[in-house]
Amino acid sequence: MAAATANFVSSALQFPRRGRARISSLQFPAVAAVAPRHSVVCFSASPTSNGQANGVNSEEPAVEEVQRLFEEKRRAELATRIASGQFTVQESSRFVIMLKNGLSKLGPVGKFLEEILSQLEGGIRDGERREIPQAKGTFRAVGRQAFFIPLYELYLTYGGIFRLTFGPKSFLIVSDPEIAKHILKDNCKAYSKGILAEILDFVMGKGLIPADGEIWRARRRAIIPALHQKYVAAMINLFGQASYRLCEKLDAAASNGEDVEMESLFSRLTLDVIGKAVFNYDFDSLSVDNGIVEAVYIVLREAEQRSTSPIPTWEIPIWKDLSPRQKKVTGALKLINDTLDELITISKRMVDEEELQFHEEYMNEQDPSILHFLVASGDDVSSKQLRDDLMTLLIAGHETSAAVLTWTFYLLSKEPKIMAKLQEEVDCVLGDRFPTIEDMKRLKYTTRVINESLRLYPQPPVLIRRSIKDDVLGNYPIGRGEDIFISVWNLHRSPMHWANPETFNPERWSLDGPNPNEVNQNFSYLPFGGGPRKCVGDMFATYETVVATAMLARRFDFQIAVGAPPVEMTTGATIHTTEGLMMAVTCRSRPPIIPSLAMNDILKCYGDQSPLKSSSSAHGQSAGSSFVEGDQNDDIHKNHIQEQYFFSRDK
Ligand code: HEM
């Protein structure tokens, strides 16, 4: 049962799940007792509870009624606490954060003062709490919700760290930025990937995400240099090409008036990108459904199934050989592994034939992939390790980016003003050409949209760790072997750290300020994790999603399709929709565009390329035409801005 519980919870948090209500299919002992706050809570009586016996004894309706009353009472208490401002961002706490930030920049003396300030804060907390608050739950009670949603309410009730107990198994749920920082960064050596490594073993082996200890250190040291700046710049072109292919698909749908399911299209887009970026393989999944694409999805789905299954049937020797599903998985894994081996061989041959001069920013123009870099760098590892790394990068870079795009377009469809502002920026910065690395600095508002989308829908919503040494979290001592979930979802929506946390508001970060990250947001914002295990693909992913968003938004308007099923969340490695994101796509009838950006902003945005400095050609190129690559870009770009500028002056 413990294994089942562990599997379930990790899976609920880690793997894609299609369709609804899988959580409720797992039966766990109902926890009838409902005790006062700060001792035990049963987070049942969800609106979906139907009061039927469902295999539990006949007294259950009465028990449920009691639970419902307690739940109502608890919610009323919670509402009072929220109304009292207890969870609202306090100016004083912001002040303390700013003070700490300022102090940390003052060298050793500042660090010392910062430490004293933290201890004073800790002392206050110390007086308030003695033992880790406990919440007990029944899985049935979670109902149809994505797993991290009830964790949010529990966080508001129990605070930044509490224990969640299911039957014999318990987990620590962390939603406090200081504690998250302690686990991820300050004392990261005391934590492993725990359950995550166990479940991912069949697909990632000792790849970078599940690996711990020396293997992780060595592989990270080998892989990080491959994502150098020149590589990322080359990838911008790839992102543009792949997004363009998606635009063509959407063009067809728009002209036929067909609705499109965007979640699966984003999944294909990012699969195509990551295949080329990691091992120079063109899945071309936006155009075809070939065997290898199917194999990748079979393996991904299996990871999902394994993590949701109460009994690990795949470990039973005979079952493993007889089960049709397992045979399919074995076949898919074989096909992927054979393909990867072939790609490794090709890469080795290319490197042998190259007149190789390896240096820091080495890149083969024909094959700029990470695999080629690793082979050329003389990375001396087994093919199995290389395969594990490639699979890890494939999965890490595919699902996450697809989910970011899905939720970004969902959010944009709800906020036409934000979409209009984004489109205006894209028109202004890109005109009709493909994005370049330089544009990444200029697409500031688009970047803020992605930052904000990642705040509201962090991918993954929970980070998993296991303590491998005794430690102290906040003021609570913990032993080794504790399974810990750091709820990024809670951190990102905490009313204690964010004003109007539920609102999609890209303006919350200044356009001219630094890009928000875990360091400048004091671990209240962890879109790419933090500490030594922070995502290696953060810049890659940010640019990929900015390019795709810019290229799609420039060409189309997006609305939730009429009659589409409601867009609800389900948990996986990332947050998926339960039934897809059905959208109606219409081609934008573009401009003339009246820029509402202040002229100063436009000039700042263009620097030396300012349209006012350009005396060359006038209105030769029209907006809304086809995409252009290469050196002509700058002229078209300037002309486009010029058009906008003169138009607004004429007005
Ligand atoms: C928007 C897209 C992405 C998001 C939101 C994202 C998020 C994250 C997060 C939160 C972690 C930390 C996990 C933890 O601490 O347990 C992580 C780790 C990782 N990510 Fe990403 N990621 C994205 C894209 C990518 C891409 C494109 C790649 C590869 C090119 C990548 C490769 C990795 C790897 C290898 C790790 C493990 C690092 C380690 O353990 O040392 N990710 N990612």
CA-based Rg of the chain, rounded to a whole angstrom? 26
CB atoms within 10 A of CB 553: 23
Q: How are the residues of the chain apportioned to helix, strand and coil, as percentages rounded to the nearest 5? A: 55, 10, 35
Question: H or E element: which one contains 607?
Answer: none
164 strand-pairing partners: 135, 171
What tokens appear for 203 in the block? 């697909």
ipTM of the complex: 0.99
User: Ligand 1 mean position to 537 CA, how many Å?
Assistant: 6
pLDDT of res. 11: 37
pLDDT digit string (tens) for 70-96?
A: 666 666 666 666 555 555 544 445 566
CB atoms within 10 A of CB 538: 15
- Provide the phi-psi class of 557: left if phi over 0, else alpha when psi is between -120 and 50, else beta: beta
Residue 519 lies in a domain: yes
Question: H or E element: which one contains 483?
Answer: strand 483-487
User: Which 3 state secondary structure label does DSSP give 586?
Assistant: strand
pLDDT digit string (tens) for 232-273?
A: 999 999 999 999 999 999 999 999 999 999 999 999 999 999
What atom in ligand 1 is closest to the CA of residue 227? 30
Q: Which domain holds residue 464?
A: 193-587
pLDDT of res. 275: 95
Predicted TM-score (pTM) of this structure = 0.76
Residue 324 lies in a domain: yes
User: Ligand 1 mean position to 528 CA, how many Å?
Assistant: 6
What are residue 140's phi and psi, to 5 degrees? -60, -35
Regions in the chain scoring below 50 on pLDDT: 1-59, 89-92, 126-127, 129, 592-651
pLDDT of res. 41: 34
* Cα gap 64→60, rounded to integer Å: 6
369 lines ligand 1 (CB under 6 A): no
What tokens appear for 344 in the block? 């490794």
**Nearest of 436, 443, 442 to residue 237 by alpha carbon:** 436
CATH number at residue 542: 1.10.630.10
* Cα gap 428→590, rounded to integer Å: 12
* 188 known member of a binding site: no
Residue 422 lies in a domain: yes
**Nearest of 633, 639, 635, 637 to residue 618 by alpha carbon:** 639
CA-to-CA separations, 603 to 429, 515, 606, 614, in angstroms, rounded: 11, 21, 5, 12
Q: How many domains does the chain have?
A: 1
* Cα gap 547→147, rounded to integer Å: 31
Burial class of residue 455, CB neighbours in 10 A (0-12, 13-18, 19+): buried
> Tell me, what amino acid is at 101?
N
What atom in ligand 1 is closest to the CA of residue 454? 5
For 89-126, give the DSSP string: PPHHHHHHHHHHHHHHTTHHHHHHHHHHHHHHHHHHHH
CA angle 229, 231, 235 (to 5 degrees): 115
User: Ligand 1 mean position to 391 CA, how many Å?
Assistant: 13
Residue 109 lies in a domain: no
* Cα gap 514→88, rounded to integer Å: 24
* Cα gap 133→172, rounded to integer Å: 10
Number of DSSP helices (H) and strands (E) in the chain, helices first: 23, 13
Asked if residues 339 and 281 have their Cβ atoms less than 8 Å apart, the reply is yes
**Nearest of 249, 128, 338, 214 to residue 585 by alpha carbon:** 249
* Cα gap 188→179, rounded to integer Å: 11
Question: H or E element: which one contains 55?
Answer: none
400 lines ligand 1 (CB under 6 A): yes
235 lines ligand 1 (CB under 6 A): no
Strands ordered across the beta sheet of 582-587? 260-261, 582-587, 556-560
User: Ligand 1 mean position to 572 CA, how many Å?
Assistant: 15
What atom in ligand 1 is closest to the CA of residue 465? 16
What is the distance in angstroms between the CA of the first residue and the CA of the last residue of the chain? 72
Question: H or E element: which one contains 557?
Answer: strand 556-560
Burial class of residue 353, CB neighbours in 10 A (0-12, 13-18, 19+): exposed
Residue 108 lies in a domain: no
User: Ligand 1 mean position to 393 CA, how many Å?
Assistant: 8
401 lines ligand 1 (CB under 6 A): yes
**Nearest of 111, 122, 78 to residue 472 by alpha carbon:** 122
Mutation test of ligand 1: which of 447, 535, 546, 575 has the most ligand atoms closer than 8 Å to its C-beta? Answer: 535
Q: Whose CA is nearest to atom 27 of ligand 1?
A: 397
pLDDT of res. 144: 64
Residue 614 lies in a domain: no
535 lines ligand 1 (CB under 6 A): yes
Mutation test of ligand 1: which of 393, 400, 515 has the most ligand atoms closer than 8 Å to its C-beta? Answer: 400
298 lines ligand 1 (CB under 6 A): no
Question: H or E element: which one contains 473?
Answer: strand 471-473
User: Ligand 1 mean position to 538 CA, how many Å?
Assistant: 7
DSSP summary character for residue 186: I
Residue 33 lies in a domain: no
* Cα gap 237→553, rounded to integer Å: 18
pLDDT of res. 321: 77
* Cα gap 141→623, rounded to integer Å: 54
What atom in ligand 1 is closest to the CA of residue 398? 27
Long-range contacts from 515-524, C-beta under 8 angstroms, 24+ separation: 515/447, 515/451, 515/542, 516/451, 518/181, 520/101, 522/97, 522/100, 522/101, 522/177, 522/181, 523/177, 523/178, 523/180, 523/181, 523/184, 523/185, 523/491, 524/177, 524/491, 524/492, 524/494, 524/497, 524/498
Residue 155 lies in a domain: no
